[in-house]
Homo-oligomer: A and B are copies of this chain.
Amino acid sequence: MEKVIITIGRQFGSGGREIGKKLAEQLGIAYYDKELLRLAAQESGICPELFEKADEKASGNLLQAFAMGFSMNGAIYQPNDYFTDATLFQVQSDVIRKIATEGSCIIVGRCADYILKDEENCINIFIHSSQEDRLQRIRRKSPVSEKEALEQMKKTDKTRASYYNYYTDKTWGAASSYHLCIDSSAIGIDNAVALIGNFIRQKQTR
């Protein structure tokens, strides 16, 4: 297989993460999701908790550099300096671009499709699912009521959409923002993994 960077956008509870992990295992390539936050923290010296807090949120809030301070794009942030979450987005973008130069991989969320838009070998996937299927998946993973799961689902999707729409020139969840969008509840996780595998082969052997 030629080098490929697969980005996966996903509705909360749609199984996008699971699909990404299984696909990475099958293809024998690296997988990045929350791992990106740790790498971005390492790279910048900003504490990981700040990345966790700002993850896929466009809050516009000011964040405080503590512990070590850090430098980025020539600016030096001292301990206790304030900066915006756009700074974190910048650090994360640099990490994503660096990862993409290193070899084939799968990156979940974090506007990776937009950040890597000039990368030829990039394939952008979006996973969604029926509400029923998503609620079941959320409740299998955490002990919440159906009502709570529904609220979590709506809130997380809204936050992800705002983040994506703020930092990119595309629309989160619009078919035209991706090469392939799959309703995972129609065919199941394993079939979705196989379908993406086919799509990659089709694109690479055209």
Chain A positions within 8 Å of B, measured between CB atoms, are: 11, 123, 126, 128, 173-176, 178-183, 186-188, 191, 194-195, 198-199, 202-203, 206
Contacts and interface: CB of A to CB of B under 8 A. Distances in A.
Contacts of A179: 182-183, 186
A contact patch SS: mixed
Nearest to A200: B187
Most chain B beta carbons < 10 A, residue from A123, A126, A128, A176 = A176
A176 B206 contact: no
A206 B179 CA distance: 24
A187 B199 contact: yes
Contacts of A187: 199, 202-203, 206
A9 B188 CA distance: 23
A91 to B, nearest CB: 29
A180 B182 CA distance: 5
